[in-house]
Homo-oligomer: A and B are copies of this chain.
Amino acid sequence: MRFLFLNLLSPLFSKPYYRHLLNLRHSLPLSYTTTMDAVEEALRKTLASKQASLEAQANAVRDLKASKASKPDLDAAIELLNALKLDKASTERKLLDAVGGANGGNGVSNEVFRQLVNNTLERRLFYIPSFKIYRGVAGLYDYGPPGCAVKSNVLAFWRQHFVLEENMLEVDCSCVTPEVVLKASGHVEKFTDLMVKDEKTGTCFRADHLLKDFCKEKLEKDLSLTVEKVVELKHVLAMLDDLSAEELGAKIKEYGITSPETKNPLSDPYPFNLMFQTSIGPSAASTGYMRPETAQGIFVNFRDLYYYNGNKLPFAAAQIGQAFRNEISPRQGLLRVREFTLAEIEHFVDPEDKSHPKFVDVANLEFLMFPREEQISGQQAKKLCIGEAVSKGIVNNETLGYFLGRVYLFLTHLGIDKERLRFRQHLANEMAHYAADCWDAEIECSYGWIECVGIADRSAFDLRAHTEKSGVPLVAQEKFSEPREVEKLVITPVKKELGLAFKGTQKMIVEALEAMNEKEAMEMKAALETKGELEFHVCTLGKAVSIKSNMVSISKVIKKEHQRVFTPSVIEPSFGIGRIIYCLYEHSFHTRPSKAGDEQLNVFRFPPLVAPIKCTVFPLVQNPKYEEVAKKISKSLTFGGISHKIDITGNSIGKRYARTDELGVPFAITVDSDTSVTIRERDSKDQIRVNVEEVASVVKAVTDGHITWANAQSRYPSHSSVSVDEE
């Protein structure tokens, strides 16, 4: 256990590269990354001591029986035993509550809530399991009409909020990607999950899932665990993503984990690449993959985009598109899928200047942040001002900070609850070695805290990888207004002398001399000047040689440079659109009692921006005159680009409201005259009366966010009608 503990924190265990590639694919179960909390520890200890008392008392009762003690003595002892049992049971309940967390103690209600939301979503066709009539395919979902509308609203706002606002260069690249590109990016080699096979049936499982399920089940249900065992299991959970194939295999063996259904033995874990593979063209010789992220399309186009931007930094490119990951066994419904929409930004910046001119615009924003230190020391996320977080160095730089702020504004504007949104910094072992800093926007839902946006400073890694593989330099130039004088180190090995002294090994020595850094070279220069000779270790020879002052000349010269050539850093905010939308569904979902009080009605409280249908038009009663007015209003709404629905069924207004509340329609126009009509707002149920001619433009103004509902209420007379209202 101790060994494991040490090992898990050692850098040998961390696979930061791999970790990055799986970005947006998992969210660490944070409750497990902190050490056991004090309450739980106390309860476990209490429980253990109560168990001991109970056993002692049980023995005492047995002894009394054996010794044929008097009935009053025996009764008293049994009564105590029962009291101890009750007492222990009460502690057990407390412990169950404490360890359950999101999936345990409140688990039942979380589960029920999720069922309720998902039933509504599926019944109203927000989503449909793909190819349902053919029994579907795990991890593939279609967006039905309201879901598709929500998605296109979210994407339109993303374009307005990021692309237009920041003048980003939006591109649209191929999904089919040739192997060479994904070899350069590391996906071919490392974009894998560890898989185990049922040795008899051949069914495949994710090795970490099985280990995770085992540990969680133990922790939540086995109350007899020792404190040490609890710590061990929690650490296994915390470090799950960092375990090697061998370590995972060892744990699976140690814990005796078998195939979930059949209980058959499992194979050793082995890597399975998560990309969908195909071949391009007719010859089968050209391997391709469906892209696992959109970012690579931007990186390979860097040179053209930089030129398009007038060879100026910083600039950002953006892309919205499908990405594909062939999950081994998709779980968590809409959160872990095999095909999904990403919206990614690659902001290219001079690594020596990561300031941002518009940082002041967000500097005063305050939101929940969860820096590395707080996570390690077992604290909670806390409200921080982003300006302060950057100035204190908690967030690495202004550009990264600017995007944290912009992402916060984006998500809350969509309707994400700001109390259930936090920005969690990656721990050192989660982060790629080249990354400067990395934060995830995590949204809390019934599945726990879900990573929905990753915001990473990836330094120059990606551009360098493609430069190397393609041979095309993906670099930027800074032209100096005046040439700059730069001090340059010049090392000139005297080949003739070296050749005489070291026949055969001369080449390696020349290379080693030329490869010295400034410090080494200056030390050598000093030594040669004072002593005329020194021992010099040549790695490629594996030994030291004696260098004399006539064998090398070392000097510093001043050179004029007209420009600086460098590989830009990239700061990457990457949005999992489907995850954001799912969390939005949960955060928007409410129930309210029907008027009769006999049932709970479902409402999606979407902001007008997001709502799939902005407005319904109901004639109050079936009447050709009212239907004519309704059609006229519908035509004006269409002209204004406002999605809406006419309902001329004879259903009661209450029933019609209930039906559209489930679709999150924010406004309802009721036609009860041919001159003026009422507009009802979904959440307040307030109504205003507006002229038929004006009504479409009022709804458009409120929907587009040009005026608020309160503004509209102050401009138009309110309308109260008991007969017209609810259920």
Contacts and interface: CB of A to CB of B under 8 A. Distances in A.
Nearest to A286: B137
Contacts of A159: 152
Contacts of A643: 164
Interface size band for A: 35 or more
B175 A175 contact: yes
A132 interface: yes
Contacts of A607: none
Contacts of A151: 172
A147 B322 CA distance: 18
A134 B300 contact: yes
Contacts of A278: 276-278, 290, 326
Chain B CB count within 10 A is highest, among A133, A144, A152, A466, for: A133
A149 interface: yes
A280 B338 contact: yes
A178 B282 contact: no
Nearest to A338: B176
Interface in A107-160: 124-125, 128, 130-134, 137-138, 140-145, 147-149, 151-152, 159-160
Contact of A147 (B172, B176, B282): B172
A641 interface: yes
A566 interface: no
A244 to B, nearest CB: 19
A338 B181 CA distance: 18
Contacts of A147: 172
A447 interface: no
A509 B173 CA distance: 63
Interface stretch (A301-309, A415-423, A619-627): A301-309
A638 interface: yes
A126 to B, nearest CB: 11
Copies in the complex: 2
Nearest to A635: B165
A170 interface: yes
A283 interface: yes
Interface in A283-328: 283, 286, 288, 290, 297, 300-301, 303-305, 308, 322, 324, 326-328
Given A142-B297, A282-B204, A174 B466 contact: no
Nearest to A184: B134
A72 interface: no
Contact of A176 (B276, B300, B469, B472): B276
A583 B167 CA distance: 27
A77 to B, nearest CB: 59
A630 to B, nearest CB: 13
Contacts of A277: 278-279
A301 B128 contact: yes
A389 to B, nearest CB: 27
Contact of A131 (B124, B133, B178, B474): B178
B303 A133 contact: yes
A20 to B, nearest CB: 22
Contact of A326 (B124, B125, B141, B281): B281
B169 A132 contact: no
Contact of A132 (B175, B176, B301, B469): B301
A259 interface: no
A224 interface: no
A180 interface: yes
Nearest to A285: B202
B172 A142 contact: yes
B304 A175 contact: no
B282 A134 contact: no
A678 interface: no
A339 interface: yes
A317 to B, nearest CB: 8
A425 interface: no
Interface in A156-209: 159-160, 164-165, 167, 169-178, 180-181, 195, 202, 204
Contacts of A297: 130, 142
A143 B338 CA distance: 25
A148 B134 contact: no
A175 B134 contact: no
Contacts of A132: 300-301, 304
A673 interface: no
Nearest to A273: B282
Given A204-B282, A283-B202, A176 B304 contact: no
B195 A171 contact: no
A13 interface: no
A125 B303 CA distance: 11
B177 A138 contact: no
A470 interface: yes
Given A164-B641, A472-B133, A173 B300 contact: no
A671 B145 CA distance: 45
B281 A138 contact: yes
A123 B555 CA distance: 46
A140 B300 contact: no
Contacts of A300: 131-134
Interface in A502-517: none
A54 to B, nearest CB: 48
Top 4 nearest A-B pairs by Cβ distance?
Answer: A143-B172, A133-B470, A204-B282, A133-B472
22 contacts: A125-B304, A128-B171, A131-B178, A131-B180, A131-B181, A133-B466, A134-B180, A134-B181, A134-B470, A138-B281, A144-B308, A145-B169, A149-B170, A164-B638, A164-B641, A174-B339, A176-B276, A204-B282, A272-B282, A276-B278, A277-B279, A280-B326
Given A145-B308, A176-B276, A278-B290, 20 more contacts: A130-B173, A130-B297, A131-B174, A131-B178, A131-B180, A131-B300, A132-B300, A132-B301, A133-B300, A133-B303, A133-B472, A134-B469, A137-B178, A142-B301, A144-B301, A164-B638, A175-B324, A204-B282, A277-B279, A278-B278
